[in-house]
Structure 1
C-alpha cells in the first residue's frame, strides 16, 4: 500500500538532551517527520485479542473521566468495553492533530495536549500531528465561514514554531510533573505534509475516495451547519474530513495508532477516520473527545474579544498568561484545577478547602495559574510571571530591580522603551522631558511638584532632584517612570 511504502521516508535524527531525565530529541524538518522524546523499542500490534483483564476504578480512562477530561467516545459501546482493557494490557499509541494556522497554539489547545500528557504519563506512546497539509484546506468544524487561504511557506513557518512549543511543553511536563521519567511513553511530533507530498489528486481519490459515502459525509454536523449558512461550504473544506480520516489510517498503518484524541467539535472527523479504517482493514480503532470549554461570554477558552491567550512567549508573555488563569471566575477554578493540572484529585480537594476558608487569599487561583504557567513556560517562565506580578501590582522594588529588559518590555508592552546615556547631574525633570512624559514649560514642572510622577514606584516631587543610583536608577540600568495612573515609560541608561 502507498501508506506502507511511505515509511521509507520516515527518518529521525537522534540527539541526546537532558541526560539526567533520559530525554532524546530527534530534530529536523524537510524530509524528516519530527522529533521523538525518549527512544523506545517499537511496539508490535498484532490482530489477536488483548488479554481482557478487568480494569479497576483506578484505570486511566476512569481517572480521566473523574477529572472531566473525557467527553465522548466512538464507537461508544466498543470504546467503553474494549478500550479500558486494551490500555491496561499493553502500551497503545494515541494521536491528536493541530493545524498550524497561526505561529502559536493558544489556551484552547491545552486540554487535548494535557490529555496526551496523561496518556504518555501512563506509559502510552503519543503522537502530535501538525497539519502541514490540512492547515491549507481548513477545518470547517466550529467555523461560521471559510478560513482565509494560507500559503505553503506560512504554514511551514507556523509549523516549525508550533513544533518548538510542543517540544517545550512536553519537556516541561517531564521535568516538573513526572515522578518517574523512565516510565513515560515515547512522544513524536509529525507533519502530515510529509505523507501527502508525493500524492497526486487522482491517485489519492482512487486509493481513499472509494471508501467514503456522500450521504454519511453530508450528515456530519460540521457540514450541515455550514451548508445551511449564507456562505455555504467549499469543496476543499468539505474534503477536510477525508484527509483527517486518512491521517488516522496512515498513523494506524505506520505507527500502530488505534486511538485519536480531539475536541468535541472533531467528533465527525473521528467517526470518518474510524469508518475508513474499519472498511479498509477490518480493524477496530477508537476516538475520544475532550470538552470544549467556553468563557462566560460563550467564546472558546483562550478567546477574548478576538484575541487568543497564546502559548508562545512572544505573543502572550508568561505574566499575561499567568494573569489570565489567575483572573478566572471563582466558579470555574475547581473544574480547571482538575482539567489543566496534574494534581491528584485529593490534593485538588485540599486546595479548594483552603480557598473556602479564606477566599480573599485566592489560593486555588494562584495554584492553578502557577501549575499551568510552569507547564507552558517552565520554571523560569513562572518565576518571571511572579516577578512581574510583584513589580506591577505590589510595587515590589526588589522584583523590579531583578527584571531584565525583556521582562520589562513584556510587562509594559505598550510603554515606550528608550535608551539614553546617563550624564552626570541628570535630574528628574531632565529624564521626564527626554522621554516626553510631561509637557514642556511650567506645566510639566508643576506636574512633578504636585506629585504626579513616580520613578521606580517612588513618588517624586522635586524636579531638580539629581537621579541617584540604586534609587532612581537600578543596578540593571533601568528606570520605570509613571506619570499619572497608567502612563508608563521605561528608560535604559547607558554608561558614558
Structure 2
C-alpha cells in the first residue's frame, strides 16, 4: 500500500505554463513576510525577535506537515498550501510532510478529548489521498496561476514513518526527548487546558509534541530546514521543534503562523453547517466547493479574498473599492469561488460547478436531471430527502405532498395546493388529485423530484 506513495523527492514541478488567468512571476523579495502578512496569510512568527523579512530575503528550506486523519484535506488546510505556494513563488524550497507515524499517536492541539485510535490501513489510505490532493492543487497552480518558472527546484514530499520506523522508543528518548524540558512543555497553554479538563491528557497525547519536534529536527539535519509553517493552533508543536534544534545544534529556526479563521458561530474555516468542505471531489464535488465560497457572507468576503486569492493586494483592494461604489450581489464571492475551484479542481471542475449553478438558477430540468447523486446532495445540501416507490397511476399530488411532512393535515395540503402554493420540479400544481407521471415535469432523468412549498421550503424525492 505505502509503496504507492513517493517516499522522498516526490516532484511537483511548477514548469513554464502560461494562461489567461492570474499569472505569477517568481522572485525572492526583501519584504516577503510583510507582503504576505498584509494579505492576512501570516498573523505572527516565532521567535518574535527574528527579522523574518531579512531571513526570507535569502533562499530557505520551508516545511509544513499534515497528519492523515482523513482521506482528504479540507478548505482550512488549503490556506496552508496557498501560503506554501506563495513562498515557493518567492524562490524558497518547500517540503511537504505527511505525518503517517504521528497520526498513530494523535495530536491533542485544539481537541477537548483524545482522538480515536486509527488503524494502519486507514492511515495509509488517507496518506495516499492527501498526497493526491496536494499534487492536484500544485498541478492546477502550475497550469493556471504560475508564470514561467524555469528553475529546477522541486517540491519534496516525505512520510515521517520513513525515520520513525527505523528508531526504537528507547533510542528516541535517550537521544532526543531528553532535550525537551517538562516545565516548558507543561507550561504551554494548550497542554495546561487539557490537563485541567475533566478528560485530562494521556501520555500518548503529551508525547505527541516530542515526535513532531523531531520531525523538524530531522528535516533540519537532512535539508537545513529552518522554517516551519503551521496554523496558530500548532504553536506548541512549533515551539518544541524550535527548542529541540536550538538545544542539540545551537541553531536558530523560526515558525510562521497562519491565523485560525472562524465564522460568527465559531466554526473553523472549511466547515459548512458542521460538515467539512473537502478538496477530494468524491467527498465534496466541485459545485460544493464553489458554493461554499459563493455563500461567504459580505462581512467576511473582503478578508477571505485577500487570504485566498493569488491576485496582488493592490488589485484586490481595487476590486473591493469598485464593489463598494457599485455593489453587485455576490460579485467578490464569485471571483473567489471561481479562483479556488480552478485551483483545486481545474478548468473541468470549474466548468462543471458553473454549469450546475446555472442549471439551478435557471431551473433547467434537463441539466438538473443529468446530475449524479453526489451532485444532487451538494446542490440541495440540508434539504430533507424521502424515498418513494413509483407505481404508475397510484401516487397523487396530494399523497406526494403529505409524504413531504410540509402539512399537518390533508385539508391544509388541499387548500395550499388549490391556492397554488405547491410546486413539483418548479412547476405549480393546483389539482390535488392529479397523478404523478414518469415525465420530466414530475420525475427527472435521475429519478429525482423537487417538491417545494412556496419558494424557500423544499424536499427531495428519490424514486425507487
TM-score, normalized by the shorter chain, greater than 0.5: yes
Aligned to 2:451: 482
**Alpha-carbon deviation of 1:217?**
1.8
Residue in structure 1 matching 2:12, options 37, 41, 51: 37
CA distances 1:122-171 after superposition (whole Å, capped 9, x unpaired) = 23221221111111212222222222222222222222222211212222
Q: Does 1:294 align with 2:262?
A: yes
Residue aligned with 2:63, SS: strand
Aligned to 1:163: 131
CA distances 1:1-35 after superposition (whole Å, capped 9, x unpaired) = xxxxxxxxxxxxxxxxxxxxxxxxxx944683473
Q: Is the 8 A contact 1:429 1:445 kept in 2?
A: no
CA distances 1:284-341 after superposition (whole Å, capped 9, x unpaired) = 3221111111111223222355422222233333323222222222121111111011
- Pairing 1:197-216 to 2, within 5 Å after superposition: 197-216=165-184
Cα distance in 2, alignment partners of residues 107 and 177 from structure 1: 19
CA distance 1:334–1:445, change in 2 (3 Å): closer
**Alpha-carbon deviation of 1:243?**
0.8
Aligned length: 439
Aligned to 1:195: 163
Cα distance in 1, alignment partners of residues 287 and 389 from structure 2: 24
CA distance 1:415–1:388, change in 2 (3 Å): farther
The answer for unaligned runs of 5 or more in structure 1 is 1-26, 41-54
Cα distance in 1, alignment partners of residues 394 and 320 from structure 2: 48
Residue in structure 2 matching 1:103, options 52, 68, 71: 71
Residue aligned with 1:95, SS: strand
Q: Does 1:343 align with 2:311?
A: yes
Aligned to 1:67: 39
Q: Does 1:268 align with 2:236?
A: yes
TM-score by length of 2: 0.81
TM-score by length of 1: 0.77
Residue aligned with 1:289, SS: strand
CA distances 1:409-467 after superposition (whole Å, capped 9, x unpaired) = 5434664689989xxxx78969999999789xx99999988767656534456846976
Cα distance in 1, alignment partners of residues 368 and 226 from structure 2: 51
Moved more, 408-417 or 321-330: 408-417
Cα distance in 2, alignment partners of residues 65 and 186 from structure 1: 25
**Alpha-carbon deviation of 1:260?**
0.5
Cα distance in 1, alignment partners of residues 276 and 270 from structure 2: 5
CA distances 1:158-196 after superposition (whole Å, capped 9, x unpaired) = 222222112122222112221224358422332112211
**Alpha-carbon deviation of 1:360?**
4.3
What is the RMSD computed on CA atoms of the aligned residues?
3.5
Cα distance in 2, alignment partners of residues 490 and 386 from structure 1: 24
CA distance 1:456–1:483, change in 2 (3 Å): closer
Aligned to 1:80: 52
